[in-house]
């Protein structure tokens, strides 16, 4: 094998033009790689800088030392093995023959490719690496990780860990929850516990590269991790009012509610139908202390009232109606609805614009009796019972058709006509 014994440069240009060679001795074998690089660069017409560098693993990264090199500007490039999109570039001003640059916050136990070039003002020329072109970073230990989870952490409700290592791809959980970067601290990465992880332990595994051992850290996920926005509610459309909310399955929690309507506060069991309320759930722990409140929950229960006529009869000047009221979603409280009442009225079938209002005899939320007086004899009327709650028409009520009897005056007219005939 032939190796360079003495470099030859063109005076004034720095262009490498050749080298003297002699047969390699064992002591020069380790220089062979460098010689071959020089030969290839010569054939390619590349200008060489008389510079070299070494790469040494240090805590949290790599140290690149430029040695035996002329003063000037140097560019250091480093990227994760085979992933050029992860590359980092650093500019170094060299004043002495030796200069070191620490590159930290790299991934642990990971192979990095690196190169150093000398910028001579007219172009960039590569420096030779005394070590290999690839260097693996050191292993990560458990002491390199700091738990920074607290109410004031960068992402509240998350489990956050900080390290001088780049742990962006090192963290994993049994639920495969991805780690998220903290926007205010590039050295902190956070994992959001699953909803049902609350009131249990969350174990995070830290993997230190492909060929290094891993370790795990366990964090107790207390009920303080419960986020208001994650509590979903569903109002049951019935009375007494019921609200169902979703809470972590492993926690022993209860919920009380307070509701407001026009400044008045009521409990959930006291809500009235056909009324708009804004309710808040108070989530309580085993000591009955409030842990968190829900967001406002709009509540309105419209009872599906249905009027069923039980009796319809008429005289010559009046119509009598009796009815029962039923409800599929409010039947349990129907008898207690003191603000529920009824109007009844009739109008001629041929003139519905003119209605005659009746008088409710039996006032009962579950039904009643009504008398509509002052009607014309021997006339067809359309009648209706209308439920009302706080003066507003509610529910469904069908119309009924009833004909009044002939009456005395009508009978006399008919007798007269028969006599004439």
pLDDT of residue 49: 52
pLDDT of residue 22: 33
Range 181-212 burial, b when 16+ CB lie within 10 A, else e: ebeeeebbbbbbbebebbbeebebebbbbeee
Torsion of CA 405, 410, 415, 420, to 10 degrees: -140
Structure tokens at 44: 């390619």
pLDDT band at 72 (very low <50, low <70, confident <90, very high): confident
Residue 325: name the closest of 308, 343, 348, 302 by CA: 308
pLDDT of residue 36: 37
Residue 191: name the closest of 209, 203, 207 by CA: 203
Rounded to whole angstroms, how far apart are CA atoms 386 and 396?
Answer: 8
The tens digit of pLDDT for each residue in 380-395 reads: 999 999 999 999 999 8
- Given a contact cutoff of 8 angstroms between Cβ atoms, the answer to whether 134 and 128 are in contact is no
Q: Is the pLDDT of residue 64 over 80?
A: yes
Least confident of 122-126, 205-209, 397-401: 122-126
pLDDT of residue 209: 73
pLDDT of residue 12: 39
CATH level 3 topology of 142-225? Immunoglobulin-like (2.60.40)
Residue 116: name the closest of 90, 149, 87 by CA: 90
The tens digit of pLDDT for each residue in 187-238 reads: 999 999 999 999 999 999 998 877 788 999 999 999 989 999 999 999 999 9
pLDDT band at 80 (very low <50, low <70, confident <90, very high): confident
Q: Is the pLDDT of residue 16 over 60?
A: no
Higher-scoring residue by pLDDT: 82, 175: 175
> What ranges in 107-235 are assigned the alpha helix state H?
none
Sequence-distant (6+) residues with CB within 8 A of 413 are none
Instruction: Please state whether 367 falls in left (phi above 0), alpha (psi between -120 and 50) or beta.
Output: left
Sequence-distant (6+) residues with CB within 8 A of 175 are 194, 197
pLDDT band at 18 (very low <50, low <70, confident <90, very high): very low
Rounded to whole angstroms, how far apart are CA atoms 181 and 167?
Answer: 10
Is the pTM value of this prediction over 0.75? no
- Given a contact cutoff of 8 angstroms between Cβ atoms, the answer to whether 404 and 382 are in contact is no
pLDDT band at 34 (very low <50, low <70, confident <90, very high): very low
The tens digit of pLDDT for each residue in 262-317 reads: 989 999 999 999 999 999 999 999 889 999 999 999 999 999 999 999 999 999 99
Give kind and range of the element (H or E) at residue 36: helix 32-44
Class of domain 306-403: mainly beta
Q: Is the pLDDT of residue 246 over 90?
A: yes
pLDDT more than 90, % of the chain: 54
E-assigned strand segments in 81-236: 88-94, 99-104, 111-119, 124-126, 128-129, 134-136, 146-147, 159-162, 171-173, 180-182, 185-191, 200-207, 214-221, 233-236
Q: Is the pLDDT of residue 29 over 60?
A: no
DSSP code at position 183: T
pLDDT of residue 265: 95
């Amino acid at each position: 094998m032939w190796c360079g014994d003495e470099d030859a440069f063109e005076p004034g240009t720095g262009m490498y033009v050749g080298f003297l060679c002699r047969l390699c001795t064992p002591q020069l074998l380790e220089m062979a790689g460098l010689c071959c690089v020089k030969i290839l660069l010569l054939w390619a017409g590349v200008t060489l800088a008389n510079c070299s560098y070494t790469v040494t693993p240090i805590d949290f990264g790599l140290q690149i030392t430029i040695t035996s090199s002329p003063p000037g500007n140097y560019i250091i490039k480093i990227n994760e093995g085979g992933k050029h999109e992860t590359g980092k570039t650093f500019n170094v001003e060299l004043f002495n023959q030796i200069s070191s640059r620490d590159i930290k916050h790299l991934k642990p136990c990971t192979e990095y490719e690196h190169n150093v070039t000398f910028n001579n003002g007219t172009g960039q020329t590569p420096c030779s690496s005394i070590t290999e072109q690839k260097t693996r970073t050191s292993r990560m230990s458990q002491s390199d990780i700091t738990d920074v989870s607290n109410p004031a952490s960068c992402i509240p409700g998350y489990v956050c860990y900080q390290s001088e290592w780049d742990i962006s791809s090192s963290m994993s959980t049994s639920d495969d929850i991805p780690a998220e970067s903290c926007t205010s601290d590039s050295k902190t990465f956070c994992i959001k516990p699953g909803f049902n992880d609350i009131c249990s332990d969350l174990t995070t595994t830290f993997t230190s590269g492909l060929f290094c051992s891993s370790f795990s850290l366990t964090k107790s996920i207390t009920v303080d991790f419960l986020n208001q926005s994650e509590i979903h509610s569903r109002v049951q459309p019935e009375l007494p009012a019921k609200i169902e909310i979703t809470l972590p399955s492993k926690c022993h929690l209860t919920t009380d509610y307070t509701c407001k309507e026009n400044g008045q506060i009521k409990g959930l069991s006291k809500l009235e139908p056909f009324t708009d309320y804004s309710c808040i759930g108070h989530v309580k722990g085993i000591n009955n202390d409030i842990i968190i409140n829900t967001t406002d929950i709009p509540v309105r229960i419209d009872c599906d009232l249905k009027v069923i006529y039980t009796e319809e009869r008429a005289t010559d000047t009046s119509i009598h109606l009796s009815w029962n009221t039923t409800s599929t979603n409010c039947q349990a409280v129907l008898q207690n609805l003191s603000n529920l009442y009824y109007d009844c009225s009739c109008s001629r079938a041929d003139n519905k614009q003119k209605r005659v209002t009746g008088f409710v005899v039996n006032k009962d939320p579950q039904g009643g009796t009504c008398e509509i007086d002052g009607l014309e004899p021997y006339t067809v009327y359309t009648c209706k019972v209308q439920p009302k709650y706080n003066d507003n028409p509610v529910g469904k009520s069908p119309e009924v058709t009833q004909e009044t009897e002939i009456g005395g005056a009508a009978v006399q007219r008919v007798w007269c006509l028969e006599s004439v005939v």
